[in-house]
A and B are shown apart, each in its own frame.
Chain A
């Protein structure tokens, strides 16, 4: 019989109280229970980064975290970036630099980059490469993605 547990967490700034299956990942719950399908399921072994979300200010793979482990924590997904229809400088830079091709990896790229910029407002190219090393882009748009993150950093420092 599937076992469940009541959890309380903050998702994109809003407190949520949910009953979750103990064997469901944070990714499962975000997508299937909360309808937040911006976060993507892909490799499910922590190699591709498409499921990256920010938990308590740190980027993590939501496919490798049980939803019950998010109990009492603060989760941010790509849906939490734009406010009132206005893109963040990071999202805008991805558009301006043509960093999104097929787009599938972009929510994960954005969340990993967002966490980087919150920690290091003035990252080097090497910092960006390291921060996004866990995010694969099969269109291989890495140059544009790196450019976008650096451009966003500059914009945000102004």
Chain B
């Protein structure tokens, strides 16, 4: 690992100033479970590493206010998984957080880090898309909110601007229960990166949201408001036609070592049907 200037800003203002000054030469250190791998294999060679764990506003915290649940940038996967309000309202996010790496990884890895690393295979991305999360950002021009659907660009690239950092991730607490499930396809049952990630959410109105990743440059979200997908009386063929349309954005890379494009497309259909079925069942169970 090459050396770097290690900075540990004590305030949010200092952190933003540091990131603005160094731009792409600076890398944020939160959990470090992606960053330190990159530093060691030298795919990332920053001149400055900004450890943000001392900034009070970014310390681990999960709060509910005005109908939104806010997860601070320093919150780890383990903390997310253990939180009663997240388990009550956003179980599919818990399912995503629970399969990130191993226990050791989840004790360090943060939700903010997972989305900022912007891997197309990020396990938390599809649930965040389905739940309509937004990202609260602090930057040189002050605060702004980015809908999660406008946050990802491609692996390691987001719509964050120079000097901006993620303060928290906010989730709208649903007024009525939503049935949602997160599923993934891996090569083996244990710790592995996903070949497909998928989350399906069904509202009591029948409106269905489907998000999936690892089959293109970024995780994507599609919504069907017709109610057909969640309607048990509708013929399977009609549902498949709608699902097929929702899955048409998949463009799996032929260069991936994890699975061929053909296999990914075929399995994406299977996961989508399973996800829809699980989400509908959960909605009924909650009613």
Q: Answer yes or no: do A and B interact.
A: yes
**Known pairs A23-B3, A69-B53; A134 contacts B32 (CB<8 A):** no
A134 and B104 form a contact (CB under 8 A): yes
B154 to chain A, nearest CB (A): 22
A52 and B104 form a contact (CB under 8 A): yes
- Return chain A residues, CB-CB under 8 Å to B2: 23
- Return chain A residues, CB-CB under 8 Å to B3: 1-3, 21-23
B36 and A133 form a contact (CB under 8 A): no
A133 and B102 form a contact (CB under 8 A): yes
Which of B1, B6, B107, B191 makes the CB contact (< 8 A) with A133? B191
A130 to B99, CA, bound (A): 10
Total inter-chain residue pairs, C-beta < 8 Å:
87
Interface status of A45 (Cβ within 8 A of chain B) = yes
B37 and A64 form a contact (CB under 8 A): yes
As a 0/1 sequence over residues 33 to 65 of chain A, the CB contacts with chain B under 8 angstroms (1 = contact) are 000000000001111010010000011110111
Interface status of B190 (Cβ within 8 A of chain A) = yes
Interface status of A82 (Cβ within 8 A of chain B) = no
A22 and B4 form a contact (CB under 8 A): yes
Interface status of A145 (Cβ within 8 A of chain B) = no
- Return chain B residues, CB-CB under 8 Å to A93: none
**Known pairs A3-B6, A5-B6, A60-B107; A25 contacts B36 (CB<8 A):** yes
B29 and A66 form a contact (CB under 8 A): yes
As a 0/1 sequence over residues 117 to 158 of chain A, the CB contacts with chain B under 8 angstroms (1 = contact) are 000000000000011011100000000000000000000000
Interface status of A112 (Cβ within 8 A of chain B) = yes
Q: Which of B2, B3, B37, B102 has the most CB of A within 10 A?
A: B102
A1 to chain B, nearest CB (A): 8
A125 to chain B, nearest CB (A): 15
B33 and A46 form a contact (CB under 8 A): yes
Interface status of A68 (Cβ within 8 A of chain B) = yes
B103 and A112 form a contact (CB under 8 A): yes
- Return chain B residues, CB-CB under 8 Å to A65: 32, 36, 108
- Return chain A residues, CB-CB under 8 Å to B4: 3, 22-23
B103 and A134 form a contact (CB under 8 A): yes
Residue of A whose beta carbon sits closest to that of B101? A46
- Return chain A residues, CB-CB under 8 Å to B190: 133
A1 to B5, CA, bound (A): 10
As a 0/1 sequence over residues 146 to 189 of chain B, the CB contacts with chain A under 8 angstroms (1 = contact) are 00000000000000000000000000000000000000000000
- Return chain A residues, CB-CB under 8 Å to B1: 23-25
A21 to B5, CA, bound (A): 11
**Known pairs A23-B1, A25-B36; A59 contacts B6 (CB<8 A):** no
- Return chain A residues, CB-CB under 8 Å to B5: 3, 22
B39 and A46 form a contact (CB under 8 A): no
A15 to B40, CA, bound (A): 28
Interface status of B124 (Cβ within 8 A of chain A) = no
- Return chain A residues, CB-CB under 8 Å to B53: 69
The contact sample of 20 A-B pairs, CB cut-off 8 A, is A2-B3, A22-B4, A23-B2, A23-B39, A25-B1, A46-B37, A46-B102, A47-B102, A49-B102, A58-B107, A59-B104, A61-B104, A63-B36, A64-B105, A65-B36, A112-B103, A115-B103, A131-B103, A134-B104, A135-B102
Given contacts A60-B104, A66-B32, 18 further A-B contacts (CB under 8 A): A21-B3, A23-B3, A25-B36, A46-B33, A46-B101, A58-B107, A59-B104, A60-B107, A63-B36, A64-B36, A64-B105, A66-B49, A66-B51, A68-B51, A69-B32, A130-B103, A131-B103, A134-B103
Binding site for A on B (CB under 8 A): 1-6, 8, 29, 32-33, 36-37, 39-40, 49, 51, 53, 78, 101-105, 107-108, 190-191
Closest 4 CB pairs of A and B: A134-B102, A22-B6, A58-B107, A23-B3
